[in-house]
Structure 1
Amino acid sequence: MTDHLETLAGRRIAFHRRAGQGPGVVFLGGFRSDMTGTKAVWLDDWARDRNRAFLRFDYSGHGASGGAFQDGSIGDWFQDARSVIEALTDGPQVLVGSSMGGWIALLIARTMPQKVAGLVTIAAAPDFTEQGFWVGFDDAQRQALMATGSVALPSDYGDQPYLITRRLIDDGRDHLVMDRPLPLPFPVRMLQGTADPDVPIDWAMRLLDHATGDDMRLTLVKKADHRFSTPECLTLIGRAIDDVLA
């Protein structure tokens, strides 16, 4: 059953919450993904089998939540995540961040470390609006973005193109994590596929090098793609969470 939370910012956030023992697990999805995706549903079953508290939700403009996707930004989605974690979880949580969700999880870790028991990232994409979109734009795309406020990019994950707005780029620059110290004082497990067309291995290596913490590991999975949703990859996610909880 889908429930909804009205945030202080006036956004209506859809969520599924499973009761269980703590520390709970919170899944943070990716750009234009939702809580009915393979990893989110698999983790819900994983949590049920272990009587582990679990929370999955849709950012505003995603899935069953209110709002339009093209109106959103990293800051909005970070605030959505912060609101649901503050309102719907008890004590420190293990954050599982996929792609953009990895960036959101790092922002949570930076601003409210007391709520983080551990971190598992899956093809984490910190600062992707800058090091992915903006760096990848040609001159014509940059000019179009500045002149009209948006530019459309083809998507490998559906028929509809991505509409990238100037607000998304500008707001992303206000929420960068790779340009300042990034302490992660809890267990961190990073998972990255070698065949990921969206997040290069170099991003994972740079994050590992940039962040500071006493218990950080990066696992590279040969031939795994960005979805990281094969049975073998899903099993690795579960093992990484178990490792953090241990």
Structure 2
Amino acid sequence: MFPWILNDLLQFLNTPLVHVQYEWRESSGLGELLSFGWVLLCQILVGSSMGGWLMLLACLERPERVAGVVGIATAADHFVTAFNQLPSEARMEAAKTGVYTRQTRYIEGGVYAIQYGFVKEAEEHCILQSSIDISCPVRLIHSMKDEVVPWQTSIKVAEQLASDDVDVILRKGGEHRMSQSDDIKLLVTVVEDLLHRVTKKEPK
């Protein structure tokens, strides 16, 4: 990803109020990423958590421009799955108030306030119920101690991908953000290896 797209995406994902799906393209940089005018070469996409879901959607929309993808704690369908697991009373309350709240330790205040419209819109972009028509190399990294997105989600993504060149890397330690030094080293290694693979260069 271009640095400015990555910066916009990180800012978007750290915003307490998550916007509806049509705003994903504007706020996350997905629109720019898919723009014919900006994307001149095939890209290796790297996405974390919800960014991993966006990454897969981008790949599905412009497969000819994606050489490979690396997902970290890929949260495919996650908001929809989590919402549907709520008691019926909580879902009805969210529909009534227009807001769905989730506890989190990753932002000040400890609560995500998610627009109900986001969840309903996101239902149209779920990808785990059928084959995911992505044929490029895919690498998925997930902590087995992830308390936000279960590591089984990455396994499910791998199972649904059309590509045969798929590796799932499970770390026994770590946490959802995979932000410790060893996690970063692993991510860099995975991206470098994939880059060498797709450019047909041998690792040094």
Pair in the same fold by TM > 0.5: yes
Shift of 1:59: 4.4
User: What does the per-residue CA deviation read over 1:123-165, in whole Å, with 9 as the maximum and x for residues that have no partner?
Assistant: 0000112112x13322331111111111332221123321122
CA distance in 2, matches of 1:207, 1:227: 18
Residue type at the aligned position of 1:159: E
Q: What is the TM-score normalised by the length of structure 2?
A: 0.84
CA distance in 1, matches of 2:126, 2:13: 25
SS of 1:228's partner is coil
Judge conservation of contact 1:78–1:107 (CA < 8 Å) in 2: no
Deviates more, 1:158-167 or 1:83-92: 83-92
| Aligned-residue CA RMSD (Å) | 2.4
Find the partner of 1:82 among 30, 35, 43.
30
Q: What is the TM-score normalised by the length of structure 1?
A: 0.71
Gaps of 5+ in 1: 1-25, 28-43, 45-53
Rate the CA distance shift 1:189–1:94 in 2: closer, same or farther, 3 A. same
Rate the CA distance shift 1:71–1:239 in 2: closer, same or farther, 3 A. closer
**As a proportion of its length, which structure holds more helix?**
2
Say whether 1:72 aligns with 2:19.
yes
Superposed, which structure 2 residues align to 1:56-71 within 5 Å?
56-59=6-9, 62=12, 70=17
User: What does the per-residue CA deviation read over 1:206-239, in whole Å, with 9 as the maximum and x for residues that have no partner?
Assistant: 1111111021100001112101011111011111
Rate the CA distance shift 1:72–1:55 in 2: closer, same or farther, 3 A. closer
Shift of 1:116: 0.5
Find the partner of 2:106 among 157, 170, 182.
157
Paired-residue identity, %: 24
Shift of 1:60: 10
Rate the CA distance shift 1:75–1:127 in 2: closer, same or farther, 3 A. farther
Larger relative contact order (CA 8 Å, sep ≥ 6): 2
CA distance in 1, matches of 2:73, 2:57: 16
Shift of 1:173: 0.5
Q: Residue in 2 aligned with 1:175?
A: 125
Q: Residue in 2 aligned with 1:116?
A: 66
Q: Residue in 1 aligned with 2:116?
A: 166
Shift of 1:63: 7.9
**As a proportion of its length, which structure holds more strand?**
1
